[in-house]
Amino acid sequence: MSERIRCQLTVGDRVRWLSHLEFLRTVFRAVRRAGIPVRYSEGYNPHPQISFATARPVGLSSDAEFVDLQLLRRVRVGDLEEHLDAALPRGFSLLRAAEVPAAAESLNSAINAARYSFEMPRESPGVWRAAAREFCARRSCEVERQRWNKPNRIVDIRPHVYGLDVSVTGDGVRLIADMALGGENNVRPEELLRALRALGPEGEESEHPLYEVQMHRLAMYRREDGREIEPWDLT
Amino acid sequence: MQSSLFHAVERLLPRVQTPSRYIGDELHAVKKCWDEVDVRFALAYPDLYDVGMSHLGTQVLYHLVNDRPDSLSERVFAPAEDMESLLREEDIPLFSLESRRPVTDFDLLGITLQYEMTYTNVLNLLSLARIPLRSEDRDDQHPFVLAGGPCAFNAEPLAPFFDLVCLGDGEDLLPQVIETYRRWREEGCPGGRDGFLRRIGRHRGMYIPEFFRPAYDADGELAGVQQVEGERSEIVKAVSRLDECPFPTRPVVPYTATVHDRASVEIFRGCTQGCRFCLAGMVYRPVRERTPDQVVNLCRDTIANTGYSEVSLASLSSTDHSGIQEVMQRLGTEFSDARVSISLPSLRVDDFSVEIAEAVKEVRDTGITLAPEAGTQRMRDVINKRVSEDDYVRALRAAFSAGCDTVKLYFMVGLPTETDDDVRGIARLVRLAHDVYRENPGSGRALQAHLSVACFIPKPHTPFQWEPQLGVDEFQRRIELLRGELPRRGLKFNWHDPEMSFLEGALARGDRTLADIVERAWRGGCRFDGWTEHFQPEKWYEAFSACGVDPDCFVTRERLREEILPWTHLHPGLSEKFLWDERERAYAGLTTEDCRRGECTDCGVCPNIGASCEAAAPLRSEDENE
């Protein structure tokens, strides 16, 4: 009977440029430094049994990256939290760890939604409010999806965006969005921005390039019949 | 002093490939308070981060400087093409990773010369940093630009670009540079830049190119390299005792996967095998070992501090450590349940035993790597690679019976006295590997052989320093000849580009006239010349002809013993007589034993630099080994 611990990690500003693969390696090494008795797969080339939710886009900082560790034996969750947090490099932290049932569905398939914030300095709240209203009023909204090594494809993201909220900040606009995560419905944060831009007065040609927008993941959860289930409560 | 470029750089990161190369806040990166130290040292590797972070020397020097209370060190790498264009477009100077400050904010800029094909990158670093390329054009607001590394032993092609070239072990040299610099500045910089250079030039191993001037005779041949200033007419390298040198057990752990993605512990420096083609084997003498206790402790601490799952026991020939069996045994026990594998780079063909095959997980995972270097016994005798065909077969059997089904083989073509039969001998040894595998096909899968063939490039300070290098066409012909003889199946064959090797040969044995050519090639857009996808030979040929220099004069011409060689004033400690005698023995087909196992070979290093081989335990002679 294996122990399974779910961890919530944050990815800070300076290290948000790591790719998903680099993030995995960072976690593997931190787990080894922390001396956590993680289980390895059988076979010729054993891998540590550490699983992640859907890949985080490069450049996205996050308060909610989830990782499951399969352990060889029970450990005190408080000790694990303390050791793993201390072992993480500067820029990452462990917010919380908790035991989950060994038979619980994998993070990757159980979690299907995420909440993002987009900080856009120097932009007009009026324009973004109008765009968000227009977006929500539509039944469909198509964007061009860039795919690695494959031709671009047109996808409709409207059904997979669950909520938008525009607020005013000291120097610009903050957009909060709830969207599908992982699988076929996945919406990339940058796709939502392009879709909203296209609905605004300037179209996609804005004087503020998209790469200046600070994108951040606030939460990950399971959306089921309109309810939100936190990763801790998934069985 | 400019402030940090933090935000300017941050805005570039979304627009480049692999931005994690530039973030500079990796595990164990050191960011000291800028204003609390006296000396700020920028440590540059003139290639991509991914390559430079695999260089152990960079890690050693980085921590050596940062461990001093009076100084700090930050890293600088060559930006990739996309980052370079952004830096130039947005007018951002080259920055250090840790505090993202312009390189010109530092007092000293050290650039390591590991490989001749990075020379245009050196100029590109200076240009991106906005430091005048030539030493003579720099003033008080510029850092001193230093070189080190194996290629420093013929720094002439880059001489005008460096204020100071350090010959020998960085552990010994760099602290002297820092201390001398600090005192010179505390005293109010007496004598200006030259005042510092004159002062540091009194120390051993410190070469100040502007204090030396090459002279040419009426035919344009080098007549001498004359000392025009300073106190030393020849520069002898400085060495340290390795067992007293600090070694970083908290190396910076890169986020991105680098070329060597593992922990590395240097178990000894130097090599006395005496391979006659090998620059490193000549200039890093004498052998200096860490004790088995030190090695085991360093491995344990490094693994605990980094979380790596592999540790490499680094040296020029790791099974030559006098205590290697004890080390392997103790590490096997140490890491038995921690899932740490041990790798031994540069395995010797004649020392490869079943025990080693079993202890080194790498052999099972990624296969055995052997470097017989030449295809026939005659040819191996010429280069003093003292391995027999029996050794080769025994090594393969040991690896195959340990379950290995991949073999990587390294050879050279174009060695002195090589005939077509020697070239065919390479193909024969490849087929022999397949034959040996068929006797005992461990896993049942077909053998995968990888053959890598390099073009022989004569290097300075080796017994072959006088040899002509083969021309490009003749290399092509020999490679084609070899290709025709190779098995069609079960083999991947790659070879070095003879044009690239031609240029490497010119830079390796060139003199100061090459500086203008390197600059011209760089201005023409040459960068990353060692990368096939970036190498532009036609730009180099243009540069040679525009400067009126015939590269063949440095590459394919046989040099005479009485000739003045461009590196004649730079001494790794070897006696010229030893090098010439070794060359004669090569032509006579005579091998020379390792001085740690047999008689002293009178290479000159021990008396000339006042050091000796420090083995942790006496070595067995080669006879006892059999």
* Out of A26, A87, A212, closest to residue B255 by CB: A26
* Nearest CB to B13 within list A17, A19, A46: A17
Backbone angles phi, psi at B68, to 5 degrees: -85, 135
d(CA A171, CA A124): 9
Q: pLDDT confidence of A167, banded at 50, 70, 90?
A: very high
pLDDT of residue B267: 96
In this prediction, residue B240 carries a pLDDT of 87
Identify the three-state secondary structure at position A80. helix
Q: For B120-127, what is the mean pLDDT? A: 98
Last residue of a domain, one of A109, A126, A148: A109
Tens-digit pLDDT profile for residues B135-183: 999 999 999 999 999 999 999 999 999 999 999 999 999 999 999 999 9
In a domain? residue A233: no
Query: Is residue A195 located within the same domain as residue A217?
Result: yes
Q: Which of A46-55, B98-107, B256-265 has the highest mean pLDDT?
A: B98-107
Report yes or no on A48 lying in a domain: yes
Same domain for A100 and A61: yes
In the stretch 291-320 of chain B, residues with CB closer than 8 A to chain A read 304-309
Tell me which residue range forms the domain holding A98.
Answer: 3-109
Confidence class for position B357, pLDDT limits 50, 70, 90? low
Q: Rounded CA gap, B286 and B299, in Å?
A: 24
Residue where a domain stops, chosen among A76, A109, A142:
A109
Least confident of B215-219, B345-349, B484-488: B345-349
The answer to which of A181-190, A202-211, B6-15, B443-452 has the lowest mean pLDDT is A202-211
Q: Give residue B626's pLDDT.
A: 36
Residue of B nearest to A57 (CA): B14
Going by pLDDT thresholds of 50, 70 and 90, the confidence category of residue B342 is confident
Average pLDDT over residues A68-76: 94
Could you tell me if B7 lies within 8 Å of chain A, comparing CB atoms?
A: no
CA–CA separation, B366 vs B273, rounded Å? 26
**Confidence at residue B352, expressed as pLDDT on a 0 to 100 scale:** 65
**pLDDT, position B213:** 95
pLDDT in tens, B59-73: 999 999 999 999 999
Contact B18 A19 (CB under 8 A): yes
Taking a C-beta distance cutoff of 8 angstroms, is the pair B443, B396 a contact? no
What average pLDDT is seen over chain A?
A: 93
Q: Are residues A136 and A221 in the same domain?
A: yes
In a domain, A232, yes or no: no
Residue A154 main-chain phi, psi, to 5 deg: -90, 125
Written as six digits, the tokens of B64 are 């050596």
The alpha carbon of residue B30 is apart from the nearest alpha carbon of chain A, in Å, by 11
What pLDDT, on the 0 to 100 scale, is given for residue A168?
95
Distance CA B579, CA B585 (A): 10
CATH architecture of the domain formed by B6-236: 3-Layer(aba) Sandwich (3.40)
Average pLDDT for B466-492? 96
Mean pLDDT confidence for B33-44: 97
CATH code, domain with A161: 3.30.70
Domain identity same for A29 and A88: yes
- A214 falls within a domain: yes
Residues of chain A contacting residue B27, judged by C-beta atoms under 8 Å apart: 29, 89-90
A92, A171: one domain: no
Confidence of residue B134 (pLDDT cuts 50, 70, 90): very high
The answer to whether residues A185 and A210 belong to one domain is: yes
Q: How many domains, chain A?
A: 2
Chain B residues within an 8 Å CB radius of A25: 255, 257
Is A209 found in the same domain as A140? yes
| Segment B215-228, tens digit of pLDDT | 999 888 899 999 99
Model confidence pLDDT, tens digit, residues A100-112 = 998 899 999 999 9
Q: Which residues of B373-412 are buried (b: 16+ CB within 10 A; e: fewer)?
A: bbbbeebbbbbbbbbebebbbbbbbbbbebebbbbbbebb
Is A234 inside any structural domain? no
Question: Residue B625 — pLDDT band, cuts 50, 70, 90?
Answer: very low
A230: in domain:
no
Beta strands in A101-171 (DSSP E): 113-121, 142-147, 150-156, 161-169
SS3 letters across B132-151: CCCHHHCCCCCCEEEEECHH
Q: pLDDT > 90: what percent of chain B?
A: 80
Domain's final residue, options A54, A75, A109? A109
Of the residues B4, B20, B261, B404, the best mutation for testing chain A's interface (the one with the most A CB atoms within 10 Å of its CB) is B20
Same domain, A142 and A70: no
**Residue B234 pLDDT more than 90?**
no
With b for 16 or more beta-carbon neighbours within 10 A and e for fewer, the B567-580 pattern comes to bbbbbbbbeeebbe
- pLDDT of res. B355: 66
Domain boundaries, chain B: 6-236
**Residue B191 confidence class, pLDDT cut points 50, 70, 90:** very high
User: Are residues A43 and A127 part of one domain?
Assistant: no
pLDDT band at B624 (very low <50, low <70, confident <90, very high): very low
End-to-end CA distance of chain B: 64
Q: What is the mean pLDDT of chain B?
A: 93
On whether residue A195 sits in a domain, the answer given is yes
Same domain, A138 and A188: yes
In this predicted model, which residue has the larger pLDDT, B529 or B440?
B529
Q: What is the pLDDT of residues A113-130, one digit of tens each?
A: 999 999 998 888 999 999
Strand partners, B111: B44, B147
Bridge-based pairing of strands A3-11 and A50-52 is unpaired
pLDDT grade for B619, boundaries at 50, 70 and 90: low
Looking at the fold, whether A21 and A104 belong to one and the same domain comes out as yes
**Does A71 share its domain with A149?**
no
CA distance A51 to B418: 55
- Whether the pLDDT of residue B2 is over 60: the answer is no
Tell me the percentage of chain A whose pLDDT exceeds 90.
Answer: 82
Exposure of B97 in the CB half-sphere (CA atoms within 13 A): 28
In a domain, A231, yes or no: no
CA distances from B126 to A84, B49, B52, B221, B285 (A): 41, 17, 17, 31, 31
pLDDT of residue B1: 43
Adjacent-strand bridge partners of A97: A7
